[in-house]
Structures are given as structure tokens and as C-alpha cells.
Amino acid sequence: MVYFVATPIGNLKDITYRAIEVLNSVDVIACEDTRNSLKLLNFYNISKKLISYHKFNEKNSADGIVKLAKENKNIAVISDAGMPLISDPGNILVNKLIDNDVEFTIIPGASACLSALVLSGFDSSSFTFIGFLDEQNKIKKIQIENVKNVKSTLIFYVSPYNLSKDVQFLYENLGNREACFVNEITKIHEKTIHFNLGELPQFEIKGEYVLVVEGCKENKQKIFETTPKEQLEELIKSGIDKNEAIKIVAKSRNVPKNEIYKLTIKK
């Protein structure tokens, strides 16, 4: 039997009793990173044979796990954090298990994308999980084209090395939507950062992030009878403070505030 076991995404205590039982009972544990997994296993005094199973050796390791399963060995598959297969290795193995009629099951648990969705406060009635954007612009464009008109909340995983670049790409392709970065989930320094895609705030970038972005809204296609400058001038004439008027125009047209602010500068 092969068990796909969810592991904590932050706090080591966020693991089920069943997961601990399975990890204690199997013959082998396949880990994405054995050094990282040892922190969890040592915390619960679990001592088992560990094998490496990650994206760089996934095909060969999958064959080895199938072989072990056919020898009546019980194997647990874990990723560094959260649910195996979700932006982590595992799909190749699952397909090989199915092809070879090897029994497998899932031991559910923590999930970063679902936790971030709840913490963001965005609409959770419907959501679309995208995961990491591809490094290649051509593929990245296809990824976003497929979801830019989706009305459900969008969830991305973001590497600290690509954070600014990915946000800029999303702004250029989705517009100035509301967004929320969630980081250090279930840890002491857990934080949520609400912002608009066109106005990324300054903060210390540490670790990977979950980025939650509002879905497409029909009213963002609204056609205005006035130009942004004319709308701004009308609001100011009505007695609204200039800074507040800038915010109103920017939000109504889904553009960054600094673009509207530029309209107030005399050339």
C-alpha cells in the first residue's frame, strides 16, 4: 500500500493522528527532501528508512516505489510541507500506481492554498488554484489567459525570487485587482498583506508566499462617458478632497492611484 500523507505547512503540531500512525507503521517513507522531513519525523520520534522522491528524480523514484509496493512493502509519500502533488511531485507516481494496479490512498491534512484563501477574506465560495507561474513567458501567458476571465478567486504560489516580477506580470494581464499575500501560515509571524496588484507595498520578502487575487468582475468593463481627468476634476469641484478623489477615480477605473495622480501635475 502507498499512502500520500499531508504534512504541516508551518506549525509541526498541525498533523493528524492518523498521519502519525501511518508514518509509524510503514516500511519506507519517500521524502521530497530527507533533511527537511527529518525535522518533522524527529519531532514525533519516528525512525524509518527514508528514500528521496523529488522532481529531479521523480520518474526513476516512482519506478522504485512501485517495485517496493509490489514486494508488499508499505510506503508513505510526503512533501516538504502540505499535500503531496499540489505544486509538488507525485503525479507521475500516481499514474504509475494506477497503471500497475497498486493500491494507494490519501491521508489528508494541511493545505497552504486553502488556509491562505480563508486568511485573505476573499470570496471562498468558488476558487481556482493556479500554483506557480511558469518561468517561460510564453507558457505563463497561456496560464493567465486561461483564467483571466474566471469570476472565482484565483490562488497562486509565489517564490521569493519572482515575487515582484510575478505581481507585475499579473497586474499587466489582470488589471489592478485586489490581492493578498499570505506568508508564514500557522507560524508565530504569520501575516497577510492586502494590496492592489498595481501598488505592491514594500515589505521584507522571506520564504514562499501564497497570493490570493480577486476574480474577474463584469463591472470592470464599464464604459465611462468622461475621461479620467474630467472625472477627477468633477469630483474635486464637488468638494471632495483631491487625494480622496484620486482614490475614487483609480478604484472605479481599476488603475493605479499614481496614474491618476499624474493627471494633477501641471506640465
The domain locations on the chain are: 2-110, 120-218, 222-264
Q: Which of 150, 197, 142 is nearest to 175 (CA)?
A: 197
Overall residue count recorded for the chain in this entry: 267
The CATH code belonging to domain 2-110 is 3.40.1010.10
Confidence of residue 238 (pLDDT cuts 50, 70, 90): confident
Residues 58-89 have pLDDT tens digits of 888 899 999 999 999 999 999 999 999 888 88
Could you report how far apart the first and last alpha carbons of the chain are, in Å?
72
Domains 2-110 and 120-218 share a fold: no
CA distance 26 to 31: 13
With 80 as the cut, is the pLDDT of residue 266 above it? Answer: no
Retrieve residue 214's grid coordinates. 480577486
Is the pTM higher than 0.85? The answer reads no
Between the CA of residue 234 and those of 137, 201, 257, what are the distances in Å?
A: 41, 29, 17
Confidence of residue 237 (pLDDT cuts 50, 70, 90): confident
CA distance 175 to 183: 23
Residues 177-210 have pLDDT tens digits of 999 999 999 999 999 999 999 999 999 898 899 9
pLDDT of res. 221: 45
pLDDT of res. 76: 97
pLDDT of res. 220: 46
Are 193 and 170 a contacting pair, CB within 8 Å? no
Residues 124-177 have pLDDT tens digits of 999 999 999 999 888 998 899 889 889 999 999 999 999 999 999 999 999 999
Confidence of residue 224 (pLDDT cuts 50, 70, 90): low
Retrieve residue 240's grid coordinates. 471632495
Are 208 and 157 a contacting pair, CB within 8 Å? yes
Q: Which of 9-23, 48-62, 75-89, 225-239 has the highest mean pLDDT?
A: 9-23
Cell numbers 510564453: residue:
138
The CATH code belonging to domain 120-218 is 3.30.950.10
What percent of the chain has pLDDT above 90?
65
Q: Which of 58, 82, 32 is nearest to 185 (CA)?
A: 82
pLDDT of res. 222: 54
Q: Output the average pLDDT for the chain.
A: 90
